[in-house]
């Protein structure tokens, strides 16, 4: 199970995977290394109940995904008044500047301190403002409390206290707000060839792919530079063009997707699944079950440990630049000239293949993508029933990619 530890000192958050047979001491040691809170100073609480380090996790009320507050234990009782007075006397006697000033201002008090009279400490503290002008009340402290300036200062002090109280209440009742939120990522493939970590962003207008990722997937050759332009959003970015269609595999299902190609996407993402693709295929972002429902597929969102480190560098509390909404600005977009039909010879060869028994479900998936039943059966036969490879072959022969 995964347990989230929240520091009661500064609100920092860390996550640890534990087994029910582990003891709470494992949480203590992890908090010591990740949150920099000494183990002997920690007080772990779960919904207000203290957790003892020697307790086995299975015997507590902890469950997967729970939050544990890591507080600092109250400090040891303050030393007695007498011991503090003695220490203060020793400190004063060792400071030649204080003793020299005191000898000139109040010789009697100077003598009492030299004799070790502890009551002299109280008298010295009372006369400290007269000995050090820098400790005199500031002009703002001497203001008339009914004046407008004083009232404004009081109002600001009350506002700061309210802010602090609000933060303390949030740390107690809503500690999740101080933790890092992992963005939504899924694993996918393009043309059944390359594994890609894609960022699901329903706030982006278009589906975007980085130029480097498109090159790795061998689809950059399909870039239509007539659709070059500028991405308008938080700042601007250059759009190299558009790839009109490629086959995207998600959870075993194949979808036709078009891409805007840019040099790089914010935070180093390879691909961003935008609203155009999500709406077209009626995708559902299911946060309750932590998955993306699209078509008949359920694609789980990646856990934090499965997301490449460079894609999860932005943390809450730091400014984060969101990928811009894409509004391509194209000076002139001519009507695209239909490419030569390269499917004639390939279709003839596919039709000439000997008929074999094929999985009707796989055949239907290919025919739904616009291929004939003849082509689907022949492609599945040549690929030993691999529907993704068959779809890639048919798309290459029919569309040129």
Q: What are the Cα distances from residue 322, in Å, to 199, 246, 310?
A: 12, 25, 15
90 counts as catalytic? no
Residue 349, φ and ψ in degrees, nearest 5: -65, -40
Alpha-helix residue ranges (DSSP H) falling in 260-372: 275-280, 343-352, 360-368
DSSP character at residue 204: S
For residue 209, the surrounding DSSP H or E stretch is strand 208-210
Choosing from 64, 95, 123, 201, the catalytic residue is 201
What stretches of 38-184 adopt beta strand conformation (E)? 42-46, 49-51, 67-72
- Answer for the pair 281, 293: CB distance below 8 angstroms, yes or no: no
Of 303, 287, 208, nearest to 248 by C-alpha is: 208
Q: What are the Cα distances from residue 53, in Å, to 14, 15, 39, 375?
A: 18, 18, 10, 66
Pairing of strands 284-286, 291-294: antiparallel
Residues contacting residue 320 through CB under 8 Å, at least 6 positions apart: 267, 314
Q: What are the Cα distances from residue 376, in Å, to 256, 331, 384?
A: 17, 41, 12
Q: CA 158, CA 162: separation in Å to the nearest integer?
A: 6
Of 167, 195, 168, nearest to 270 by C-alpha is: 195
- Answer for the pair 54, 25: CB distance below 8 angstroms, yes or no: yes
Active site residues: 201
């Amino acid at each position: 199970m995964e347990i989230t530890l929240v520091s009661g000192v500064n609100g920092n958050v860390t996550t640890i995977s534990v087994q029910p047979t582990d003891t709470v001491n494992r949480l203590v040691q992890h908090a010591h290394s990740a949150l920099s809170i000494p183990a002997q100073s920690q007080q772990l609480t779960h919904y207000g109940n203290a957790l003892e380090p020697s307790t086995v996790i299975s015997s507590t009320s902890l469950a997967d995904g729970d939050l544990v507050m890591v507080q600092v234990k109250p400090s040891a009782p303050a030393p007695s008044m007498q011991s503090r007075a003695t220490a203060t006397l020793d400190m004063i006697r060792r400071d030649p500047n204080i003793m020299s000033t005191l000898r000139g201002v109040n010789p009697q008090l100077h003598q009492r301190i030299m004799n070790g009279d502890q009551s002299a400490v109280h008298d010295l503290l009372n006369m400290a403002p007269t000995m050090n002008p820098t400790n005199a009340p500031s002009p703002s402290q001497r203001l008339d409390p009914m004046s407008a300036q004083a009232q404004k200062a009081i109002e600001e002090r009350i506002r700061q206290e309210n802010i602090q109280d609000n933060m303390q209440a949030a740390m107690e009742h809503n500690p999740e707000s101080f933790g890092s939120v992992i963005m939504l990522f899924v694993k996918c493939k393009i043309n059944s060839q390359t594994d890609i970590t894609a960022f699901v962003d329903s706030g982006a207008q278009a589906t975007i792919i980085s130029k480097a990722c498109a090159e790795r997937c061998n689809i950059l050759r399909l870039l239509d530079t007539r659709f070059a332009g500028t991405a308008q959003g938080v700042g601007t970015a250059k759009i190299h063009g558009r790839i009109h269609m490629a086959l995207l595999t998600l959870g075993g299902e194949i979808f036709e997707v078009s891409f805007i190609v840019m040099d790089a996407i914010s935070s180093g993402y390879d691909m961003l699944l935008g609203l155009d693709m999500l709406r077209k295929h009626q995708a559902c972002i299911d946060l309750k079950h932590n998955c993306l429902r699209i078509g008949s597929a359920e694609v789980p969102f990646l856990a934090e440990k499965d997301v490449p480190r460079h894609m999860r560098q932005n943390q809450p509390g730091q400014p984060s630049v969101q990928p811009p909404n894409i509004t391509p600005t194209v000076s002139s977009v001519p009507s695209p000239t239909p490419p030569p039909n390269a499917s004639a010879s390939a279709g003839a060869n596919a039709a000439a293949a000997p008929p074999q028994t094929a999985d009707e479900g796989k055949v239907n998936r290919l025919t739904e993508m616009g291929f004939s039943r003849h082509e689907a059966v022949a492609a599945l036969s040549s690929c030993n029933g691999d529907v993704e490879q068959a779809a890639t072959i048919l798309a290459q022969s029919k569309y040129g990619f």
